[in-house]
Amino acid sequence: MSASVFASRVSGLVREIVMARLFGAGQLYDAFLLGFRIPNLTRDLFAEGALSSAFVPTFTQYLNTKSRREAAVLANLVTTAVLIVVGALCTLGMIFSPELVRLLAPGFAAVPGKFELAVQLTRIMFPFLLLVALAAQAMGMLNACGQFGVPALSSTFFNIGSGLFGLVTGFWLGPRLGFEPITGMAIGVVLGGGLQLLWQVPSLKRSGFTVRLLTDWSHPGLQQILRLMGPAILGNAAVQINVMVNTNFASGIHDPVTGADGPVSWLGYAFRFMQLPLGLFGVAIASATLPAISQSASLGRFDEFRQTLSRSLGMVFLLTLPSSVGLAVLGESMIGAIYEGGKFRHYDTQQTALALTFYAVGLGGYAALKVLTPAFYALHDARTPMFVSLASILINYIVAAALVRSGTLGHAGLAMATSAVAWFGFVALFSIIRVRIGGVYGRRLFESVLRISAASIAMGVAVALSSRLLESWLGGSRLGRLADLAISIPIGVFVFYGACRVLRVAELELAGRALAAPLSAWLSRQRGKI
């Protein structure tokens, strides 16, 4: 799962590198980012959120307690409902794109042509919403059937498809048909979304599921999914909604040095960069955990439920806490080595790295929420995450508004507000579920977090010393940054592993077994063939 997500995040990063080199951090990319972010909000709401969280437990319940035929009927009912409801939302979104852009980025109207471009790109990319919703349902079905690699790779096909289609459409067809390259990149997003869905169709057919349009709004399984999805949308959307709120604030902030655009792009590039460890660890572990805890809940095995949830959270912190420290210490080297060049200036690198540092503070909380929130849906409780999310949105707005008005941190303060509410959401949900299910082995988990934090600090000190030494020797050139990453990252991994061994971090052995299991299975298959 993590290997597939790694391929997805790396391909997404390559796509962002192309965008950074071609369009920089300014008016064109700001408009594209907003137009993409409006429908892409549903990636968290559907692909990694409400649809999966509501659909997977119900679909798993049907697979375990009813026949595969009844599960297939439920899947087709959901497909039809998605086509009707989300298709209607796409149509409305395209009609009311000017109002959405005005609501989310009022500062765009102050720059000539920027508002109009954002509206145009939003309209082009809105159908991506429907495609990603259908792809999310396919992903949930395959995960419930025990298949994780193919659905995890679907995002890789989106990144590759959207990038290649965008380049061909924007730079080859565009000059012939009379539209700008950035418009072609928007068309590429929609075509890439279609490829993401089509990639999963053969696996669904092999699992015995074919698409048939059915309507029965009174079906008990569909009713259960709809009951969970309503509050689940709010329950999963807090961080993304907060990012949109912060985009609203950032659209009114201008570069303190040149007075030009930049903060929206800096935040967008930084948040995209954070998606690599988040996808590798948070999303991958959450996607693998949800079918397991759904099965435990449906069969009444709550001790198994507690064990699985506790171990998943421990794994998340083992992998994200050192990642947070690494992003904060090596952020400028990473961003400079990957993005800087073309229209992406050194100053853009510094400001994006500043935003990444503050986003990294919340990485552990954000990833833990990916695991913890669906646990409530497995217990058929969607209201609790909804109420916590509503509180998170309110807190983010208050903190972000205060930081923007103070003028001390600028766009970095908006990243800090996002991180703060991610941790607030985790602490609140963790406290509630401990009471709900009679404990989550919290003392053991807390001790592990303390040990992992100590190991991460030791790693951070070692990496900071290595990075400063290399910078003083090689300077800030691209070669120097690549050398910094090539040397400092292995040093950090070695120090962190050694510190975890000394501190006896229990999750380290679990992670080793998880990494070794696929290799052992492959070797066993090869011996069997011989």
Cα-flanking dihedrals φ and ψ of residue 344, to 5°?
-95, 110
Q: Are 315 and 367 in contact (CB under 8 A)?
A: no
User: 162 with 100, same domain?
Assistant: yes
Residue 478: inside a domain, yes or no?
A: yes
* pLDDT of 47 above 60: no
* pLDDT of 132 above 80: yes
Band (254; pLDDT cuts 50, 70, 90): low
**Where is pLDDT greater, at 239 or 53?**
53
Could you tell me which of 413, 477, 426 has the C-alpha nearest to residue 321? Answer: 426
* 99-138 b/e (C-beta count within 10 Å ≥ 16 → b): ebbeebbebbeebeebbebbbbbbbbbbbbbbbbbbbbbb
Query: Which of these ranges, 79-93, 314-328, 470-484, has the smallest mean pLDDT?
Result: 470-484
* Rounded (10°) angle between helices 411-437 and 263-277: 40
| pLDDT of the residue at 179 | 86
| pLDDT of the residue at 83 | 92
Over range 350-354, report the average pLDDT: 89
User: 429 with 447, same domain?
Assistant: no
- 396, 418, 440 - which closes a domain: 440
| pLDDT of the residue at 408 | 67
User: 351 with 479, same domain?
Assistant: no
| pLDDT of the residue at 520 | 59
User: 433 with 449, same domain?
Assistant: no
User: 459 with 427, same domain?
Assistant: no
Q: Tell me how crowded residue 501 is: count the other CB atoms within 10 A of its CB.
A: 12
Q: Looking at the 3D structure of the chain, how many domains does it have?
A: 2
- Between the ranges 184-193, 236-245, 340-349, where is the mean pLDDT highest? 184-193
User: 98 with 122, same domain?
Assistant: yes
Q: Which domain holds residue 491?
A: 441-524
| pLDDT of the residue at 393 | 86
User: 335 with 447, same domain?
Assistant: no
Rounded CA gap, 38 and 20, in Å?
20
- Distant-in-sequence, close-in-space partners of 348: CB < 8 Å, separation ≥ 6: 24, 25, 262, 265, 266, 339, 340
Rounded CA gap, 412 and 386, in Å?
27
Upper half-sphere CA count for residue 445 (Cβ side, 13 Å): 20
Over range 56-67, report the average pLDDT: 83
| pLDDT of the residue at 210 | 87
Residue 505: inside a domain, yes or no?
A: yes
User: 362 with 447, same domain?
Assistant: no
| pLDDT of the residue at 493 | 93
3-state secondary structure of 213: coil
| pLDDT of the residue at 8 | 77
Percentage above 70 pLDDT, the chain: 88
* pLDDT of 387 above 60: yes
User: 429 with 451, same domain?
Assistant: no
Over range 78-95, report the average pLDDT: 90
Over range 397-410, report the average pLDDT: 78
pLDDT mean across residues, the chain: 83
Residue 446: inside a domain, yes or no?
A: yes
Band (189; pLDDT cuts 50, 70, 90): very high
User: 311 with 171, same domain?
Assistant: yes
Residue 203: inside a domain, yes or no?
A: yes
Query: Which of these ranges, 79-83, 240-244, 440-444, has the smallest mean pLDDT?
Result: 240-244
| pLDDT of the residue at 361 | 92
| pLDDT of the residue at 25 | 67
| pLDDT of the residue at 140 | 83
- 396, 414, 440 - which closes a domain: 440
Could you give the angle at the alpha carbon of 289 between the alpha carbons of 288 and 290, nearest 5°? Answer: 100
**Where is pLDDT greater, at 332 or 40?**
332
| pLDDT of the residue at 76 | 93
User: 366 with 496, same domain?
Assistant: no
Over range 140-159, report the average pLDDT: 84
| pLDDT of the residue at 487 | 93
